[in-house]
Structure 1
């Protein structure tokens, strides 16, 4: 366990080399960590004007995408820790999850849109990072889309929500695949998928990390309880490590 930020750790991702992790926090910053040394590398990424809620690393490990409560997505250069562009898109509400597609062309962002007449819609939107073209909208959940990941073959999207469900989607047409994963007793904050696509990990405000089989959509093993709310989770490329971040600002490796 490592004290990673002064406020809650809200996003986490492994680099492909497995030796580094990037974390995002409600302290408005991102940080890169050395896994073996448990040490902070260089300086923080600073640019969001509100809480950072999600983080993702490009397939070539050269760029980082972060989404925030400031309704924006920022693309960062890993080496310089500078913004590649001005904030990528301006959503109607907070961006709760970002991820790169395996081919690196497209960037989906899960978010909530509040409308005056129809109440609350909970969608996934897919954008092209080449020219910021809007590609696809999925009416996904009955509550906030808290996290979204792309399968490594690019064929599916997986989403987790405040409605306590995990759902699988065809990334080409937005159709749902199979039944949801159900088991968390409080809203799900984060989602990660293994590199071989065989299992996913989720964290929830019920203070548990749970593993799920991507074929059966059933839970794998038991879900141990933790002492603080778990806000984010990531799986190393080789599938041997799981990293989780909690509401006390701590980073944990399993």
Structure 2
């Protein structure tokens, strides 16, 4: 495998914040103005933040000026959360080392415990930087919801397909009484059970309090449901319901 010298030396979320600062200053500014906007001092550490943000291709640094990229404009002006996540993931994977790590481990367990050693031996990351760089990679995956509780690195294309499907839910009744949703991202037979309660005074369909399952109860205008959660992936259905509530509040 060819050695990779370039790698981010900062957190992806912090880079998004720096790009936002440049955007708020008209999309182009000098370093001093950006530092002032972020409440930071001009220093070597701030220069590293700029370099890292450029590696994510959120800004350019030509002729001493910081300028947001077309990719960051897509993130900032995304039509919805699903599209924003798509563009943010594209930016996060711009650094070659992160892109190669993602391609190597997507769909399988990320070797979190030995990731820093892997970076040193196979990606030419400096030994003193290996632990921070591995943390930046893991932090970015967690920010983008691409790393599950078992450290499995998810395929973001498939996860976006699922989010897109659930984002289309306009009516609670579009969700089945017992889910049979099939997706490469979800288990073949999801276990989430959605109990619709037509009359809030009628507790016949409600799950007993003594159950060993986790239960989320969402009640409001047009909604009165209990969602029984048996597996981590079932939380996607909860997210879909909450997005419906959020849309009604806007």
TM-score (norm 1): 0.25
Larger radius of gyration: 2
More helix per residue: 1 or 2? 2
TM-score (norm 2): 0.25
More strand per residue: 1 or 2? 1
